[in-house]
């Protein structure tokens, strides 16, 4: 991978933009990472370049690709976020900051799955582009997983399969989801993976190609006659989804007929339905296998017509019919959406509700702080997420203080809290927390009772209840009823 390839890819999608900043970022990152190497033995800079390239492929904007090149600089080199801000401006620095923060979140098994999802959303609320950089970072790390010790391979593959791949699905970035899943599959179930791969790549390849050529020969002349401009591509289901299907339906590989699909990409929605009609006149449709995701898109915004017909030799074949725009969206998800948005205003009706909300809000606010605040209110319903120094995300109501956080961790931590450190700075216990603050509570072993004054500022029921309860139990509380004059105060 070279910076020239990254720049070329970017120019392909943005012919009028000036890519100079990419070269500057490269010089900066290459210098910062000088002398560092990946486990593969390659110079470290190859990794961020790959990430930037993947981002350019997804048609990310200039700031995102720049941040991709710089994404490991603050964490792994002498250069700081401040340096990045000076050299490349606030937008790029903030994206890198988001990545660095996301990197601090640790994975601790399936039971934290939901929590981790939330963490990703938290990052997204700050800027969705952060998630795209993180995904590309993960994809390249998965592709170079061979060089890590086996234990680490397993952990990373599991984390990717349980967290990253589903989120890619939620965001509608199918290509990324498939790539990640197949890579995970290879590391988590090597035997099954290699068996399927062999059947798929070796045993059935020639036969399969013949079959699809026959279909193409049948349909292409008719489409030409009808003057329907089209591209046809053969789409294979990715190995992991075949494996899952075989497992859930207890079938053999050659019994899974919708492993392959023919994708027909046309100019407009009208042509989609025309092509559907043509297919159904050539081959008999299988009952109950027609889905109109154009009229009724999937919840994640996916649009296409799907139909399965009895093709040549009576073998079932799935067709997916869609416009070019739908096609790009299905590959790049939200990223494609931005690309189109930049080109022209278009309806966002087929986006999932919460993504639509985020996009709408993002449009409304140019100022990032306002944006984050609005997201808090509208999407997260007045909840904030703060992080423990170990990377656990703690959900709190807006306005919560360090004491609420302490009690959210554990009653003991709350009771014995004496000081709080927020984002590496010592602060007051009544300090209000903001989204993505990193909070640490200093406790004192001998202090086992909370301060009643805390009731004046805590926001959570949990903290309030605990403080009241312990205040009752305090020796002073229990003796004061015997002290005349205090009791009725
Ligand atoms: Mn990285």
Cα separation, 99 vs 347, whole angstroms? 30
Helix/strand/coil (H/E/C) assignment for every residue in 248-314: HHCCCHHHCHHHEEEEEEECCHHHHHHHHHHHHHHCEECCCCCEECCCCCCCCCCCCEEEEEECHHH
How far away, in angstroms, is 206 Cα from ligand 1 center? 39
- For residue 331, the domain's CATH number is 3.30.460.10
Residue 157 lies in a domain: yes
Residue 370 lies in a domain: no
Among the three residues 146, 173, 195, which one is the final residue of a domain in this structure?
195
Q: Is the pLDDT of residue 277 over 80?
A: yes
Whole-angstrom CA distances from 231 to 35, 168, 223, 323, 337 are 47, 26, 10, 10, 21
In this structure, are residues 372 and 364 in contact, taking their beta carbons and an 8 Å threshold? no
How far away, in angstroms, is 63 Cα from ligand 1 center? 17
Quote the domain boundaries for residue 64.
Answer: 3-195
User: Which residues are designated catalytic?
Assistant: 75-76
Given pLDDT bands bounded at 50, 70 and 90, which one contains residue 482? low
Residue ranges of the alpha helices (H) in 71-173?
A: 73-76, 81-103, 113-126, 128-143, 150-159, 165-170
Least confident of 6-20, 164-178, 269-283: 164-178
Long-range contacts of 82-91 (CB under 8 A, 24+ apart): 87/24, 87/28, 88/21, 88/24, 88/25, 88/28, 91/63
Same domain, 432 and 325: no
Same domain, 156 and 215: no
Same domain, 287 and 183: no
pLDDT in tens, 17-45: 899 999 999 999 999 999 999 988 999 99
* pLDDT-above-90 percentage for the chain: 42
Cα separation, 193 vs 148, whole angstroms? 19
Same domain, 330 and 420: no
Cα separation, 34 vs 69, whole angstroms? 14
Same domain, 207 and 280: yes
Q: What is the pLDDT of residue 125?
A: 54
Q: Describe the crossing of helices 239-249 and 174-188 by its angle, rounded to 10 degrees.
A: 70
Q: What is the pLDDT of residue 350?
A: 40
Whole-angstrom CA distances from 316 to 118, 153, 209, 212, 285 are 41, 38, 15, 12, 9
How far away, in angstroms, is 136 Cα from ligand 1 center? 9
Given pLDDT bands bounded at 50, 70 and 90, which one contains residue 353? very low
Same domain, 24 and 155: yes
Percent composition of the chain: helix, strand, coil (DSSP 3-state, to 5) = 60, 10, 30
Overall domain count for the chain: 3
How far away, in angstroms, is 451 Cα from ligand 1 center? 44
Q: What is the pLDDT of residue 102?
A: 75
Least confident of 20-34, 103-117, 297-311, 426-440: 103-117
Same domain, 302 and 447: no
Same domain, 397 and 457: yes
pLDDT in tens, 100-122: 877 766 656 555 555 555 555 55
Among the three residues 195, 226, 243, which one is the final residue of a domain in this structure?
195
Closest CA to 282 of 215, 207, 208, 225: 215
How far away, in angstroms, is 47 Cα from ligand 1 center? 7
pLDDT in tens, 383-407: 677 878 776 777 788 889 999 999 9
How far away, in angstroms, is 198 Cα from ligand 1 center? 32
Same domain, 124 and 249: no
How far away, in angstroms, is 51 Cα from ligand 1 center? 8
Residue 28 lies in a domain: yes
Same domain, 226 and 171: no
Same domain, 27 and 175: yes
Same domain, 191 and 206: no
């Amino acid at each position: 991978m070279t910076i020239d390839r990254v720049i070329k890819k970017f120019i392909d999608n943005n012919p009028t933009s000036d890519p100079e900043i990419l070269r500057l970022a490269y010089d900066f990152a290459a210098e910062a990472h000088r002398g560092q190497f990946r486990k593969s033995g390659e110079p470290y800079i190859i990794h961020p370049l790959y990430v930037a390239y993947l981002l350019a492929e997804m048609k990310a904007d200039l700031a995102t690709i720049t941040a991709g090149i710089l994404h490991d600089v603050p964490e792994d080199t002498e250069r700081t976020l401040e340096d990045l801000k000076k050299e490349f401006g606030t937008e790029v620095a903030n994206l890198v900051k988001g990545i660095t923060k996301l990197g601090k979140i640790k994975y601790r098994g399936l039971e934290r799955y939901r929590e981790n999802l939330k963490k990703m959303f938290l990052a997204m609320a700050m800027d969705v582009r952060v998630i795209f950089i993180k995904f590309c970072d993960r994809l390249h790390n998965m592709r170079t997983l061979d060089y890590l010790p086996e234990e680490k391979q397993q952990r990373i593959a599991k984390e990717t399969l349980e967290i990253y791949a589903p989120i890619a699905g939620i965001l509608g970035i199918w290509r990324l989801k498939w790539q990640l899943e197949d890579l995970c599959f290879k590391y988590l179930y090597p035997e099954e993976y290699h068996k399927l791969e062999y059947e798929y790549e070796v045993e059935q390849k020639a036969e399969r190609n013949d079959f699809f050529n026959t279909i193409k020969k049948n349909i292409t002349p008719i489409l030409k006659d009808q003057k329907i401009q089209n591209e046809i591509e053969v789409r294979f289901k990715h190995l992991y989804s075949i494996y899952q299907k075989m497992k859930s339906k207890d079938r053999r590989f050659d019994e899974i007929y919708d492993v392959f699909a023919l994708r027909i990409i046309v100019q407009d929605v009208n042509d989609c339905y025309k092509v559907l009609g043509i297919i159904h006149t050539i081959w008999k449709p299988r009952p109950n296998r027609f889905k109109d995701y154009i009229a009724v898109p999937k919840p994640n915004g996916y649009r296409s017509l799907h139909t399965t017909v009895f093709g040549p030799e009576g073998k079932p074949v799935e067709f997916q019919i869609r416009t070019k725009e739908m096609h790009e969206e299905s590959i790049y998800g939200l990223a494609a959406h931005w690309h189109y948005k930049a080109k022209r205003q278009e309806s966002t009706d087929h986006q999932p509700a919460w993504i639509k909300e985020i996009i709408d809000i993002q449009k409304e606010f140019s100022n990032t702080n306002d944006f984050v605040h609005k997201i808090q209110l509208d999407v997260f319903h007045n909840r904030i997420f703060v992080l423990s120094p170990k990377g656990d995300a703690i959900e709190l109501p807006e306005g919560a203080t360090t004491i609420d956080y302490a009690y959210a961790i554990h009653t003991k931590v709350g009771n014995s809290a004496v000081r709080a450190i927020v984002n590496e700075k010592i602060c007051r216990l009544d300090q209000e927390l903001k989204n993505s603050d990193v909070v640490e509570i200093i406790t004192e072993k001998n202090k086992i009772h909370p301060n009643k004054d805390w009731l004046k500022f805590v926001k959570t029921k949990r903290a309030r209840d605990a403080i009241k309860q312990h205040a009752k139990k305090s020796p002073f509380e229990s003796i004061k009823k015997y002290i005349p004059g205090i009791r009725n105060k």
